[in-house]
Amino acid sequence: MTIIKAEQIMLNEPAHARKAHDERFAMGSAFMNGSYCGLHEAGVPIVDMGFMHADAAYDVVSVSKGQFFRLEDHLERFEKSCEKFLLINPYSREQTADILTNLVKLAGTQEAYVWWCVTRGMMPADRADLESYQPAFYAFVIPYLYIANDEQRTRGLDVMISKNYIRIPPSSVDPTAKNLHWMDMKLSMIEAVMGQKDWSVLTDADGNLAEAPGANIFLIKDGELYTPDSGCLEGITRKTTLELAREAGIPIHVEPVITSQLLEADEAFITSTAGGIMPINSVDGVVLGDTDGPGEITTALHNRYWEKRWGGWLATTVDYDTSVNL
Ligand SMILES: Cc1ncc(COP(=O)(O)O)c(C=O)c1O
């Protein structure tokens, strides 16, 4: 079995093609605190605390073949992230879904990366007056974005377990609330790229695997699937992968996983909305399973993920034909 060339399909097949859209939305669409605009027109006030202090919660959902995937799950996770950070979304769940749908329609993207956030807004005159904070809502849609393109997923990613950085501790920033504290992940990525690797993986302070920048980590040993139980975002693609594995009768272990387990794994992969299931080829130079390229179970899960999505699994279909009231 070989890895489905999902990117090629998205770019070339008529059922995935971008719909007609106003030139203003050529780069993408945005919704900035109450109004829609082209992506190139979108700007965040420089004194917004989301920008200044990463004082925000966000989420990302994808659209493929004109269908949102697990939109309700993303909206629910977003609500929980806001609650955990004591942030109030000025829009209801239904209004949020409408805004995201309108952005997809404006951009005409049947393959879309849909990002939104709530920040604590601008610094009020009296910081202690918690009632005076006015949360801000920003969102944008761009054509679908891949962490790992077809070429990388076909050969498998070469990853490095970060030597210089650990994932920020959950008691500092709760990783189950999707947040903008990315510096540990960003610097570990730079470390990986400087080491000629594609991606990094971070551990916690005790050496347990946590997650990768923008992605959850999985490994397969003796036909069984392992993923960390804590220290990471409860990724929607992670949840999906666990469901696919269960369907395929693969035994699952959601529990602490140490680095040596990853180095000795038969297969491994990372998961994200921005790319689905992305096979790993090597870890710290060790080729997993002694064979180059994605493993069999990973390939099967990868392909099943896209086949099921394109078959309408947990989908919310976008109606591109009705116009958006700007
Ligand atoms: C830190 C982190 N972990 C994991 C993920 C994967 O989550 P999901 O599958 O919901 O995209 C992301 C997604 O951006 C992330 O930022």
Look at residue 17 in the predicted model and tell me its pLDDT.
Answer: 97
The protein residue with its alpha carbon nearest to ligand 1, atom 8, reads 235
Structural domains of the chain sorted by starting position, each given as residue range(s) with its CATH number in brackets:
6-144 (3.30.470.10), 150-310 (3.20.10.10)
Alpha helices (H) in the chain, listed in sequence order: 6-12, 49-53, 71-84, 93-107, 150-155, 183-194, 236-247, 259-263, 296-310
Contact 87, 120 (CB under 8 A): yes
CA 274 / ligand 1 centre spacing (Å): 8
* C-beta of 235 in contact with ligand 1 (< 6 A): yes
Contact 143, 162 (CB under 8 A): no
Which residues in 263-298 are b (16+ Cβ under 10 Å) and which e? bebbbbbbbbbbbbbbbbbbbeeeebbeeebbbebb
Which residue, 22, 137, 47, 138, is CA-closest to 88? 137
Atom of ligand 1 nearest to the CA of 240: 9
* C-beta of 60 in contact with ligand 1 (< 6 A): yes
Look at residue 70 in the predicted model and tell me its pLDDT.
Answer: 98
Atom of ligand 1 nearest to the CA of 236: 10
Look at residue 325 in the predicted model and tell me its pLDDT.
Answer: 84
Atom of ligand 1 nearest to the CA of 216: 4
Tens digit of pLDDT per residue, the chain (326 long)? 899 999 999 999 999 999 999 999 999 999 998 999 999 999 999 999 999 999 999 999 999 999 999 999 999 999 999 999 999 999 999 999 999 999 999 999 999 999 999 999 999 999 899 889 999 999 999 999 889 999 999 999 999 999 999 999 999 999 999 999 999 999 999 999 999 999 999 999 999 999 999 999 999 999 999 999 999 999 999 999 999 999 999 999 999 999 999 999 999 999 999 999 999 999 999 999 999 999 999 999 999 999 999 999 999 999 999 999 88
